[in-house]
Chains A and B, each alone.
Chain A
Amino acid sequence: MKAGSNLEKVLEGGYFAVTAEVGPPKGTSPKVIQRKGELLKSYCDAMNVTDNQTAIVRMSSWSGCILLKEIGIDPVMQMVVRDRNRIAIQSDILGAVALGIRNVLCLSGDHQRFGNHPAAKGVYDIDSIQLVQTLKAMRDEKKFLCGEEISGEVPLFIGAVENPFADPFEYRVKRLAKKVKAGADFIQTQAVFDVIKFRKWMEMVRDQGSDKEVHILTGVIPIKSVGMARYMRDNVSGMSVPDEIVTRMEEAKDVKEEGVKISLEIIDQLKEIDGIHGIHIMAVAWEDIVPVIVEGAGLIPRPII
């Protein structure tokens, strides 16, 4: 075991993992995170806390992780390189480990132009692959990026993301290989709606053997409304939502029910793909639906290790 987190145990134990995502509040109340945590606790193995997602200022990821930990949930601390230089990053990692956080997901972060402080200076001192590499060296060699020694252990289960629907398509698997080489233990992907394209991507992943070196958890986003389906299809770069899904939502009598049905169908198909070790459910502003989906997909009870 590298970090001994619940997520690591589940994945190393060969179980099909379920993770979920919590967006922290634009405010100071711990209740938002605590409520979501209590709600989803029995339905997932670990919960990601986003890091100022879409560059909108929210409660910090590490503090959200601590709130989850306090109620017995294994948190995944998301960390973007947009807002911190290498000094702040490494310092935050030391603090996170001291507080018992074991899983860290490394991302570059949505560009600051999309957020509520578009005038902010993007940091990008190191990139997401270099972040993975930095954490690996902190854990395995107990060294900072500058080469100096770290006192104490740095048990981390290191995650990275990959978007099979971004371009250039053929290069995405090579970039995944780079993340694995950098030290990623697990990967959470962008949400999958276009299963055919995803299957093709996984085929390429298997061809280069990456599925044997890293745990891949596929992203799933339950669609709550017709507007959301259209928005993701038309406005979110790096997302691929087939027209068929939008049409199904448009024609549905009960849109929410249809949204759940679509998610369950996708999960069923994902389970059949070789090399997928779990799913990561990002129920943006619809966390309440996660139990329904996990149960519907036959993924409870969650393993207790």
Chain B
Amino acid sequence: MIVTKKRDFKELLDNIGNYRRVFLLGCSECAALCGTGGEPEVKAMKEALESEGKEVTGMFVAKSGCQVLGTKRELKPFKEFIERADCIVVMSCGAGTQTAVELYDKKPVFPANDSMFLANMTRLQVFDERCSLCGKCVLDKTGGICPITRCAKGLLNGPCGGSQGGKCEISPNMPCAWQLIIERLSRIGSLDNLDDIMLPKNWDPSLDGSKKEGK
């Protein structure tokens, strides 16, 4: 899932600026789980905007805001509310926000959330980043633990000299990914996976290299 975090309300108001009429669009998937764009949050946003003198022309929680066609279909009954609005505020991830941008070409669209990362939810609303969608998986070699995501330097041939007591040098709260990898490979009897030097990664299929074509 995609973790989102509410943007500062003042920042959102600054974004909205002089637009008075707002349509609110939430998302029932990740944003709802994160508590940033489900039914209760959309309602709370409506009240907050109204208390700032805005008019909310309508609101809707899309099933999956990242599905462009599905969302388009779902929003058909809201046509006139959306038309009446000066702008749309999207309470989902950046993907959902850009669905609205694609569907409403002439309306300003503002994000209510910041999109953080692809996450595993370990407990209710406790998130951990384990995959960064780099486009070419190395988990087969690293015992199923991703160094690109979980090593602060993304090293393919770690650990660096800053690994101590199982922790990464950048934070006592962050485990050293390479310590985890070595422990796990030892447990499953595959430590020799690391004997070969992993070659420089082809970043082209990842967002770091160029835009993904998604085919």
**Interface 9-mer from B30-38, B121-129, B152-160:** B152-160
**Interface 9-mer from B19-27, B46-54, B164-172:** B164-172
Given contacts A163-B161, A167-B164, contact A111 B169 (CB under 8 A): yes
Return chain A residues, CB-CB under 8 Å to B167. Answer: 237
Return chain B residues, CB-CB under 8 Å to A108. Answer: 153, 155, 160-161
Interface of chain A residues 176 through 203 with chain B (CB within 8 A): 178, 181-182, 190
Chain A: residues with Cβ within 8 Å of the partner, total of 34
Mask for A92-133, Cβ within 8 A of B = 1, else 0?
000000000000000010110110000000101111111001
Most buried by A among B152, B162, B170, B176: B162
Given contacts A108-B155, A127-B155, contact A238 B164 (CB under 8 A): yes
A130 CA / B158 CA spacing, docked (Å): 11
Contact A134 B169 (CB under 8 A): no
Return chain A residues, CB-CB under 8 Å to B163. Answer: 166-168, 237-238
Contact A130 B156 (CB under 8 A): yes
Out of A122, A130, A161, A165, name the residue touching B157 (CB < 8 Å): A130
Contact A178 B159 (CB under 8 A): no
Chain B: residues with Cβ within 8 Å of the partner, total of 30
B172 to chain A minimum Cβ distance, whole angstroms, is 9
Main secondary structure on chain B at its contact with chain A? loop
A174 at the B interface (CB under 8 A): yes
A127 CA / B148 CA spacing, docked (Å): 11
B98 at the A interface (CB under 8 A): no
A113 CA / B168 CA spacing, docked (Å): 12
**Interface 9-mer from B5-13, B107-115, B195-203:** B195-203
B179 at the A interface (CB under 8 A): yes
A128 CA / B157 CA spacing, docked (Å): 8
A26 at the B interface (CB under 8 A): no
Which of chain A's residues has its CB closest to B208's CB?
A125
B163 to chain A minimum Cβ distance, whole angstroms, is 5
Contact B161 A125 (CB under 8 A): no
Interface of chain A residues 136 through 161 with chain B (CB within 8 A): 145, 161
Most buried by B among A114, A124, A165, A167: A167
Given contacts A133-B197, A162-B161, A238-B163, contact A127 B169 (CB under 8 A): no
Contact B165 A167 (CB under 8 A): yes
Out of A86, A161, A182, name the residue touching B161 (CB < 8 Å): A161
Most buried by B among A162, A165, A178, A237: A237
A133 CA / B159 CA spacing, docked (Å): 17
B182 at the A interface (CB under 8 A): yes
A196 CA / B164 CA spacing, docked (Å): 18
A168 CA / B178 CA spacing, docked (Å): 9
Return chain B residues, CB-CB under 8 Å to A124. Answer: 153-155
B199 to chain A minimum Cβ distance, whole angstroms, is 7
Given contacts A111-B153, A113-B170, contact A134 B160 (CB under 8 A): no
A171 at the B interface (CB under 8 A): yes
A82 at the B interface (CB under 8 A): yes
Contact B199 A130 (CB under 8 A): yes
Mask for A221-238, Cβ within 8 A of B = 1, else 0?
000000000000000011
Most buried by A among B155, B176, B201: B155
Given contacts A125-B203, A182-B197, contact A171 B155 (CB under 8 A): no
Return chain A residues, CB-CB under 8 Å to B162. Answer: 110-111, 166, 237-238
Most buried by A among B158, B164, B167, B203: B164
B194 at the A interface (CB under 8 A): yes
Contact B155 A175 (CB under 8 A): no
A17 to chain B minimum Cβ distance, whole angstroms, is 21
A126 CA / B199 CA spacing, docked (Å): 8
Out of B153, B164, B197, name the residue touching A237 (CB < 8 Å): B164
Contact A168 B161 (CB under 8 A): no
Return chain A residues, CB-CB under 8 Å to B183. Answer: 168
Contact A167 B157 (CB under 8 A): no
Contact A174 B194 (CB under 8 A): yes
Return chain B residues, CB-CB under 8 Å to A129. Answer: 157, 197
Out of B156, B166, B176, B179, name the residue touching A127 (CB < 8 Å): B156
A125 CA / B155 CA spacing, docked (Å): 9
Return chain B residues, CB-CB under 8 Å to A238. Answer: 161-164, 169
Out of B152, B179, B197, B201, name the residue touching A167 (CB < 8 Å): B179
